[in-house]
Structures are given as structure tokens and as C-alpha cells.
Structure 1
Amino acid sequence: MRIVIVEDEAPIREGMEGILKKLNPSYELAGKAADGIEGLEVIRRVKPDLIIMDIRMPDMDGLTMLKKLREEGVASKALILSAYSDFSYAKQAMELGVSTYLLKPVKIQELKKVLKQMEEEVQEKNHQGTLLSLESMTRSALTGILEKTEETAAALEKKYDIKATDPMTVFIIWLGRFYDERKDIVLRILGEVDGHVQGFSSVVTAFPERTQCTMVLYHMEQDRDWEAYFNRSVVPMLLSNTDSKAVCVWDECGGFYELEESRKRIRRLLEWSLSLGNGKIISERRIADIPVYPLKYPPELSLRLKQSVIKGDEKEFKACFTEFLNYCRDQVHKPKDIKEACITFLWTALNTAREYITFEENELEVPELLEAIMNAYTWDDVGVSMKRLFDAIMAGGITGKQEVSPLIARAKRMIEEYYSQGITMEEVARKLAVSPEYLSRQFKKETGISFTEEVRNVKVEKVKTLLLGTSQNLIQIAAMTGFSDPKYMSKVFKEEVGVLPAEYRQMNS
């Protein structure tokens, strides 16, 4: 497989070259480029099988480069490696036929799997002349590697009596992570439908890499509503035999060579299962008849979520998530709006945890979580990703704190308990039966800050909590946290946080 790398960061560009050689010595690096303009020249010249590219690059970004190549008829497969998970990028990439969109930093095993899949597709395309079965030709048409040649058209018409412009329908049963355990029963049901129902012919095949089974219908009787028939007779069988894990999607196209575009539309239709569920077929016709509403949930819910993270209240944490899901599902919303709301909700929890507690974020793999939500087709998928985040935050708790002696630990607890009463180091030293000088020296030695700085930090953190968790005014908050007046509290707060209390509340509300 001949590959071109288009990446503006030299370390990544050179590193990718080394990775490709290690993954498979047969991979041929046909060229490298540092931006879209240079990439255009290299790709036009070497005509690679695969383009590995970034999106944001100087002079010309990756998607603009790819659009120009597509307009010129360059059909090289494309793999995007990007640090950006913006929905608009993913949408444009899909429309340009990008095979896979991976978020940086990329896992080697994940990259290896994707490259192997692409190599198989390239090999299938290169050996297209030997394609004999209708299933092989249909798979090639769906994946976009079937070329529009006279030989192909002749084989379709002479061997299978299919004209290139005969109407066709694609019926996809998506199984997600239940594919391996449910695909056989789904394929059996589709085969029985094909064998027993009169009025159409079909090709049934499976796509393990997309965790779905596909039935392509043709030579259909034109006086029957086949979508309604499948909704009434076939979908209930599929759901009952997959424990309702299947999502069924229906799309109609104008001919064999339009199957790839149909598959792309189905990928977008699949996301509507978040709004419509999986009880019926999802199709363009069904979506057109359903009113869609803006997705809104009250700001108080975000505030409650922040409070639950700050307080470590796992029960309230889960209650907020459940309530959020109910807002998403109580009306029909655009999938894009739902996913953006999910990511916003995720970031609210994550950023609050970053600010108020310490947890093992290195093991969380945030880019992977974001990608999983972007690619989710069911609430089960979204729930798995969100639960991973919630469990990491709640299980992590406050970790990584510096170990201190029992004496300093007791002093810190007393500060936490009496900070609002103007407690002094002398009072704490007396209660701990040590001299103020010794306590001061040990406190600085073990924590790195002075006793007074610790009291100040605790007060500022309590002010933050009250600003986010209550509607108290600054006068009340100053009194509750032991500051002499709100002006002095605001001065100290700005020195520590960088903004005034009112600005902090507004920024986080």
C-alpha cells in the first residue's frame, strides 16, 4: 500500500514514517508534505492508495486539500489524525469520503487495525477485475471502491440482470458492541426474509468493521410500500432476537453506483436513534414527518452537577446525569445538538473535578471519550462513555496529596473547621500542645506554605464553593468565610484567582 503523509508538525511527520515501517514493511511511503499546498502537488504526482493527513495546517488546511483532490477525481483513501474533535470537521470529513477520523494522540494498536482494514480494501479494489460474486460487487459498491467501468456494468447486466440505474434500497441492521454475539441470528433472519418473501431480490452481507449487517434490495415490486412492510414484519423479529439491541435504518437510491452515497446517508441516519429510539426503521421519510425541537436543560442542572463533584456526592452525581438524559429524550432533537450537549455536560464535570479535586486523569483518555461520544449511535453507547468519566472522578477522589505528619494533619483539619472564626496559629499551637515557632517551622517544611497562606487558601476555596453552590451575596459570603468585609475578600480573591468574585460566579454560571 502506497502512502502519503501530509502533516505540518515535523516530529509527527517523521515519527509517523517510522511507525509505518515498523507496523508493516510492505507499506511504501510514497511522499511527505508539510501543508495542503505541498500535499496537493505530491498526491497529484504519486497517486497514493492512502493519504494520512492533519486538518489544521498553514497555507491550506487538510479538508480544503482533500476537497480539491476529490473534484479532480483523485479517489485515494484518506485517514485523518487530528487533535480537534469539532463536529463540523467530522461532518466535512464524512462528506469527502474520509475512511477514519482518529484523535491525537493515536494509539498504535488502533492505527494498526485501521491501516490493515484499509489495506484490505485497497487490495480488493486493485483486484477488482477478478470480482465474480454479486455480494463482492455489492460490498465494493457500498465501500466506494467499485469503479464505474464498462466491464462492471456488463457483468451486472449480463450475469445478474441488474442495470446500473435500477432503483435499490439499503437496509442496515447496526449491532454495535453486540455484533459478534448477534450477527449470526441477524444474517439468518435476513436470509429467511430473502428466501420466503416474494416481490424483490436481495444481497445479504456483513461488515464486521462497521458492526452491522446489510441487505441490499433490488427488482422490487413498485406497487408495495416495502419500508412499511419491513417495519411491520421484519423489524419486530430482529429486535426480539437481539434483545432490542439492533438499530434498523432504511435508505433508497437510484442505482448500483449510488450505493456508497446511500451508505453515507445511513451513517448520518443512524445517529437519529438517539432521538427516535430503535423500535422502528429510521429513514429520511420518517425524519421528515417528525417535528424537531431545540435542546435545552435548566442552568440549575449544571450548577447541581458542579456541586455534586465538589462535595463528592455520588448519589446526586448520578441523579444529575439521569435528569440530563431525560431532558435529551423527552422530545425529538437533532443528533448534533444531543452530542454537543453530552460533550458540554462531560466537560462541566471534568473541569469542575480539575479545579476542585485531584484524580487520575492520565488513565481517563479524554480524547478517546470525546471520540466515543461523537461516534455513538445509542444512549447505551453514550452512557458507557459518561459512566467511565463519572467513575474515574468519583473513584479517584482526592489523591496525590502530599503526605504530612499527624501533627500537621491535625492542624490542617482545625483550619478547615475553624477558618471562618479567625483562628490563629497561636490558638492551634496551644490546642496541639506545641510552641507556635515549632508549628510554624513544621507547617512550612511539610506543606511548602506558611500557616497563614494555608488559612487564606482555604478561605478562597470556600468562597468559590459558595459562589457556585449558593445564591448568597458577597456581604453574606464574606461573613460566612471569616473575611472582615466584602471589599477585602474581593481583593484577596482576585490576587489568588485572577478575577473578582462576581466575575468568577458569572464565568461559571
Structure 2
Amino acid sequence: MWKIAIVDDERQVLQGMKRAIPWDALDAEWAGEALNGEDGLELVRSAQPDIVITDIYMPVMNGLDMIEQLRKEDFNGKIIILSGYSDFEHARQALRYNVSDYLSKPISIPTLKAILGKVIQELAGEEEKRIKQDELEQKLRMYEPFIEKEWVKSAAAGTLESSYRSGESLPQPYRFWTETEHVVIGIDLVRDIRASELTLSDWNLFRFAISNIVCEVAQEFFSSFEYTELHSTRSVLIVHSEAGSNKEQLVQHLERLGVQLIDCIKNYLKLVIRIGIGGIKAQWTEIPDSTEEAFRAIDLRDKRIACSYDLYAYGEAMQSDSGAIVMRPTKFYFELAGAIKSSQETQAQQLVDEFVGQLEQQTGITPDYVQMLAGELWGIFAYCLYEVGMVLDEMFPSELIAKEMIGLTRPKDLASWLKDKISSICSSRQWRGNSKHRQAVDFMTQYIHEHYADEMTLADLADKVYISRNHLSIIFKNMTGETFNNYLTRVRIEKARELLMERNMLVYEVAERVGYKNVPYFSTLFKKLTGMNPTELIK
């Protein structure tokens, strides 16, 4: 209930107000009374009313001085002045103190009720905004770890936009990066017989277990590090050391850490991993380079650190047999995974073209290397689709894919094969109708049909279904065949046509009923969608 306090030096006024205010109708209650401004201050401080009705001319302390002090103390409640004097200077002061209304005595009961109703409506609106703001802040606090995790992943993969590559743009927990050196340990889970028998849901459990093991073992060697998954079977551990620290000792710790990780994951999870150690970087913006070097070390398997361990270190002279440097860019994998998950077919095709174009410029690309790339990328496809509720094996039999991969011998073969599969995935019924996306779109369409007259944006609904605005826009278009705004407009115009055909309302009334305050704009949309003016339906 809303609490109302009254400050007035006339007891008759106080008693009259208490009787005149329709408490139940306003969902309000009496918060107390005072006979002067000084007592009024104490009353407001103790009772914290939502509304204060006060006179100006009172003994000890007048109403304006009381209001000034309340505002200095950050009292944000509504204040209504009810005075027997109408004075311009007082009214101007009242405006400066953010007073809701300035009324003259005597006041009629209907006017008092109307003023209080208006003020309470303002309070209700402000309360609703506060609740939404609190919910948003709570949601942001809840999502903060996930946002930071995605930031670390982008920093490792090299997909941060240029505007985020300055020290000032570092999230607070990672500001220390500007004062340390960095090295990336790349972790690649081997798809052996045991791993290939795991279901995708089992993969999630093992990924979680690997994360725990990596972080627990890393604590034995380093105090500052971050672990993040990149895609499919690959993840990274970003290690930080004090600038100028002993490089030889750092390398020894990295090598011992690598050996222990391989042993622990083999002993506890019965899984096999390969580990690559990238170069040490002085700047945090060079972390993506260390990531690429770590996985290049794994791919080329040239500089093995320990016998009988798949543990490799990056060397500046690492080249293919023909002398060309061969890389599988982590950034490409990362961006391609994001494009597929959000069904951005055109972007995914462009990424493939750019990557294969770079690949064709290198010499020494063997059929085995092309087929290895195809296998890695197919694993990324499978993982991405699983995250949005689809199973790739149900769309493409694994035997068929294996046969197709054998025929891939040149980079352009890989490009054609990848682009064909991307088109098939993005246009498939399973993609358009997968359960997670369908549930979100069903909620949206139902919400539009129930609240078409309200102001709403795609961002509003994105908050309700916990999907980013851009991603939700793509999903909605894929499912319905039209944009969110077009769908909302069509629903509104169809409802408007129904109302007009009943011939009980004027055009402007119908426009307001379906959510349009601008009648000419409504008429333009109506004719565009129906082929006739709204006035033609009510003649």
C-alpha cells in the first residue's frame, strides 16, 4: 500500500483530509501527521511515506524549508503542496524542489482524489521501472561470469574487435594482463576409439571434467591463468607470469604441467589429449598468436618435448616438408562455429571462401592435410548443432561423410564440400524446426497476438526468452519467413480490419486500439497490407 503523510498546522485540516481521502480506492494508508515543518521532517524520516501533503506557512519551520531539507537528504517521495496562499515565488521554489503539485485551499474532494490518483499512478510507474531495472541488474550479475568467459574466449581466438584491444577495455578481473607476460597451452582431445563412442551429451560431461582437472593441476604451477573451450575438441589454458621472470624456469613449469595434464586425463577419464605450448608474449594483445602457435605445434608434431608424450612446443622454424608454413587458424574455426550456431549461412560461406583462399596461397598442401581439416571442421559442425538441439548424424550418415572426405584432395574440393553442407544444414527442416528455437518463436508469436496493442520491440522479447537480439532476429525469420516487425505489423492490421468491419469504432479509435497513435501512419500501413484505406471499410 502507498503511505501518505500530512503536515499542516491546522488540526481541522488534518482531520478533514483523513476523512476525505478515499484510502481503500487508492490502495493507500495513513502514515502519520505533523503540525509544523520540524516535526514533519522527523515524521518523514521515521515513516518514510510515499506521498507528503504539506502546507507552506507553519510555525517553527515552514513547508518549503522542510521540503528543501528532505531533498538534501535524498527523499525521493512525492510532495504535494496544499496552501491557503497562491504565490508565484513559492510556486517557483516548489518546482525547483520537484514538487508534484501546488494546490490552493480549500480543495474539493473530487480534485483531491484526482490529484492523489495521478501521483500514485506515477509512483506505480516508477516502481515498475525500478523492478525492471533491478531484474536487469540481477540478470547482468547472473550473466557476468558467462560474458567474461566469452570475452576470454574471444581474446584467445583473436576475434575481439579493435576497439576492445586497449588496456582500458579489459574487464576488471583481467586488468592485470597489462602487467604480465602470457603463454597459451593448447589442448586437443584425440578422437580415438573410446572418444568416438561417446554421445554428444557424454561429451559435455567429459568437457566439464577436463576443465576441472586442468584448473586443479594448473594451480600447482601457476597462480594466474584462465581456461576456456574454443570449439569441438579444442580448449586453451592461458598462463600469466610476471614480466621479466626467469624464462627457463617458466618453460620448465609449462613442460611439467603439460606432462601432468596428459597423465591425469588419461588416468581419471581414460581419454587421450595432445598438448601444444605456444610462444611467450609480452603483450596481452598477442595472446591469439600464442594460441595459433600452440595448435600449430600439435598439428606439425615436430618439436616433441617428452618421449612417449604428445607434448609439443612451438619453434620459430616450424614449417611443412615443402618449406611452407601451414596453419589451421583458431580464429576461423571460432567464427565459423558462431555463424553456424546462429544460422548465418552467407557469413559462414564467406568465412570458408576467405580461409580456403589463404590456404590456396600456400604450397605443400597435401590431400591428407585437406582431409584432416575436413574431419576437424565436421567435428565443429556436430558440436555446434548439438548446442542448438540437433544431431548431425541424423542428417548425414557418418559412413557417407567418411566416403566423401576421402575424395577431398585440394583446398577447392574442401570449400565446395563445406559450403554444400552449410547450405544443407541451414535450409533443413530440422534446423528450422528444432525444439529450442521453435519454443522461443512460439512464445513470441503468442505474446504478439496477446499484446499487439502494447509497445514492444524485439529487444523486449529477447530479454524474455534469454536469447540475444541479433540471434533471435535470425531465428524468428527462419521460423516464420518474415521479420519480427513485419509479423507484428501484420497482426495489428489484421486485428484492425476485424474491428473496422464491426463498424462500432472510428478509424482513430481502431488505430489506438491496435497500438498506433499516429493515424496517418496507420492508414498508410493499412492500405499497404490490405490494398484499401481504412475508411472504405466503415462506409
Normalising by structure 1, report the TM-score: 0.30
Normalising by structure 2, report the TM-score: 0.28
